[in-house]
Structure 1
Amino acid sequence: MSTAAALTPEEIRALPAMVDGPTAFAALSISRTLGYQLIRSGDFPVEPVKFGRIIRVRKTDLLAFLGLTETAAEPEPPAAD
């Protein structure tokens, strides 16, 4: 049971609006096997969208679950002396 390389926040933000199961699993740092088990049991942390046998996950749902925003926070400018 191998886990795909975890995605960075920047990689997650760059994803298309809907991603396939394995990409969502990589964003969550879980294995493909566990991801599909969680979907089948109804315990996947975000709502999957099913098109027949095809499973997709909304990027906005992944971002919300992971506590990320659509854009990276701008760094604070240095304090003026």
Structure 2
Amino acid sequence: MTLAEAAELPTVVDLVTAARALGVGRTTAYALARQGKFPCSVYQVGGSYRVPTMEVLRLLGLVATDSGPI
């Protein structure tokens, strides 16, 4: 995923998109999510997983961790 693609992500992404941004494979991402070990918060919504984009971007160092209010 390029920086431009990351900048265009919605507020919340599916687990596969978050994993792709982090360079993690699909199978590993689902295994980590089930174990509660994915490196970002993961929320289960119905039968799918969702990850806050801001957490992915912070983990990648693309946004400041103390950015303050928007």
Same fold (TM over 0.5): yes
Distance, in Å, in 2 between the alignment partners of 1:20 and 1:11 is 15
- Alpha-carbon offset, residue 10 of structure 1: 1.9
Between the two proteins, the alignment pairs up a number of residues equal to 64
- Selected match of 1:68 from 45, 50, 62: 62
In structure 2, the gaps of 5 or more residues are 65-70
- TM-score by structure 1 length? 0.73
* Paired residue secondary structure (2:57): helix
Q: Equivalents in 2 of 1:10, 1:68: separation in Å?
A: 11
Match of 1:47 in 2: 41
Aligned-partner Cα distance in 2 for 1:49–1:41 = 13
Q: Unaligned stretches of 5+ in structure 1?
A: 1-6, 71-81
**Large movers: runs of 4+ above 3 Å:** none
User: Which protein is richer in helix relative to its size?
Assistant: 2
Deviation at 1:60, TM superposition (A): 0.6
**1:49 Cα shift?**
1.4
- TM-score, length basis structure 2: 0.83
1:27 aligns with 2:40: no
Equivalent of residue 13 in structure 1, options 7, 14, 17: 7
Q: Say which SS state the counterpart of residue 56 (structure 1) adopts.
A: strand
Within 2, Cα distance between the matches of 1:22 and 1:46? Answer: 13
User: What is the alpha-carbon distance in structure 1 between the residues aligned to residue 32 and residue 3 of structure 2?
Assistant: 22
User: How big is the alpha-carbon RMSD for the aligned residues of Structure 1 and Structure 2?
Assistant: 1.4
